[in-house]
Structure formats: C-alpha cells, structure tokens
Amino acid sequence: MSQFHGRLMIDLLGTDISAEEHRLLRDPQVGGVILFARNIIDRQQICDLVAQIRQIAPQLLLAVDQEGGRVQRFTHGFTRLPPMQMLGDAVVKDAMQGLALCHETGWLMASEVLSCGLDISFAPVLDVDRELSSIIGNRSFSDSPDIVVAAAQAFIGGMREAGMAATGKHYPGHGGVVADSHLQAPVDQRSMAVLVERDLVPFSRLSEQLGGVMPAHMTFAEIDPHSVGFSRFWLRDILRDKLGFKGVIFSDDLSMKGADIAGSYRDKASLALDAGCDMILVCNSRSGALEVLDYMHSEGLAGSEKIASMMARQAPHAEVPCWAELTASPRWLAIVERLSRLLGG
C-alpha cells in the first residue's frame, strides 16, 4: 500500500521536543526532521530523541548531515570521518585500495547513523572542487569529475550495503564559484557546455544510484535566469528528463541567504515545489517553517509517494545491527583503525 508523506522537513530547537514541536511533528504536511549539532549531547541521547520522534510520528523521514570532515553533526561517541577529499586523494594514490576505503567509509557512516534510528545522511557531496569554493573545498572528493564519480560510486555502494539511500549534492555543481550560498546568492557565469564536461558529470553518471538529489541555491546566469532550486528548467528539463533521475528532489534549506532572492518563505516554498522539489527543508527559522506550513495547508498540498523510498526500514536489506554488535564487528574495527591512521590519530 502506497504511503504519502508530508513535503516539509523541519528542525528542532534543542535536545528535547517542546510542546510546539510535538504538535508540528504530528502535522500531516510535515514529512521529515533533520538533526543538527545543537540537538545532540551524545549517542545515547540521540537514540532516545529519535525514539521519541518515532513514537510521536513514526512515518517521518529522519535525516542528518554526516558527510565527514567539517560537516559531521554526530561526533561524541561516533567515528571521526575524514573530509571526502582525503578519500579522493587515496583513490588517486592507489585506485584499488582507495576505492575499497571509500566503500568501507560509506558503509561505516551509514551503519552508525542507521543504528541510532535515523534514515539518511544527506551525502555524498558530488561537487567538483578542491579549493576554489569557500563552502565546498575539501568536502568534495576531487576537482576531477572522473575521480568524483569513482570515489562517490564506491562510497554510495557502501551506504547502500548498510541500507541507506544516498543523496547527491549540490546539483548541478557548487564547485565553480567562491561565494557561500549560506551567506549570499552565488552567480556562476559558466556555460552549459562547461558544466556538461565537468560539474554535471557525477550527477549524470550516478543518477540511477542516487535515491535523492539536493540542488544548490545558485544561479547559472548564462543558462537560466532562475536559481536552480526554483527552476523548472534545472529540475524538470535537465535533472528529470535529460539525466533520467527518478528519486527524491530535496530543496536545500530555504532559510539560507542564497534562497532569499525568491522572496518570502511562502514564495520560496511555492517556487521550489512548483519547480519540482518533492520535499522542502526549512531549518533555523521556526517562523519561516510556520509560514510555509500555513501556505501548504491553505493550498491543500498533497503528500508525496516518492519520499518513502528514502526510509531505511523500507529498504530490502538485512536488519541494521545494534550499536554494540556494530562496534564489536571485525569489519567496523578494521575501518575505524584505517581511518584513524589516515587522520593521523
């Protein structure tokens, strides 16, 4: 039987669920929750918080940004993950060993997140960059599209083995501009021909292996006047029709400055959904989330069937081991030791 999910993903203010948040989690237009560092004390508290959320609304998609490097929300009690650039460099140094490292790191990251009861980490980053972008940099596997594809494919394979769907970001590529879309609205002047040969390569070649895609809050002025996350051209014509992507399109956080060019939160939500986003994220602005909810209710927006495909317990895989079983396994111990050596620990 098909399950329809609300199309708004929200955040929580602290380490406990407030009375207001209890009501929000039950709102039929809310389909997911993303956790941040402010929601976390330690691993056991994360498990308890997730269990509380599941008790209130078991259908919600629960997410975190657990990329590795400087974007790792779960730290205390979890394996320290390297920035993806270190994995890409390992592939360049020794393809066989490097790809095995990518696979095992993807498996470990996903296994640790899943063991706490969440569904997904918004990973991996598929941007092609090394040091140009102020917000991407070493979050990218490489400034070579081929290395990004190879490393990400192995990483995704590890995630999928653990039972987690992968989300590629930030489509069609944030690695060509210095500006940070959290702080401003980047404009990339490059042509489609350049993007096809570089930034779009990972999304094109990995589209069938991705469960989700997250577009960038940026404008490619020579190609389309609209910011990617609000553009039917980018989301429908290119991502869906040309690249053949069939999974879930998540907006990036609509509270980011890069999204403000679209207007109010109501305007941003309307444009993102009309452009083709299946689920929109409104984080770090409770008033913005409430404004979007008012809009969604006033429009009577229907839920999405696609979102169920991202939920871990919907996936056809072996049961996720409990934390004690995971951390006692020879495989987990081996990859933790290898990552520790890689990071100089």
Q: In the block, which residue shows the tokens 């979007």? A: 292
Question: Using an 8 Å Cβ cutoff, are 256 and 216 in contact?
Answer: no
Distance CA(34)–CA(126), nearest Å, equals: 20
To the query of whether residue 252 is one of the catalytic residues in this protein, the response is: yes
CA distances to 152, 214, 284 from 114, in Å: 19, 20, 24
Question: Using an 8 Å Cβ cutoff, are 152 and 209 in contact?
Answer: no
What is the full DSSP assignment across 135-186?
Answer: SSGGGSS-SSHHHHHHHHHHHHHHHHHHT---EEEEET-STT-SS-TTTS--
Question: Using an 8 Å Cβ cutoff, are 8 and 30 in contact?
Answer: yes
CA distances to 104, 219, 222, 260 from 182, in Å: 31, 14, 22, 10
Distance CA(28)–CA(328), nearest Å, equals: 40
Per the DSSP assignment, residues forming a β-bridge with 4 are none
Question: Using an 8 Å Cβ cutoff, are 90 and 98 in contact?
Answer: yes
Going by C-alpha positions, the residue among 260, 32, 48 that lies closest to residue 167 is 32
Q: Which of 27, 48, 182, 237 is catalytic?
A: 182
Q: Which of 127, 188, 252, 278 is catalytic?
A: 252
Q: 96: which 2 tokens?
A: 């066989």
Query: Known catalytic residues?
Result: 182, 252
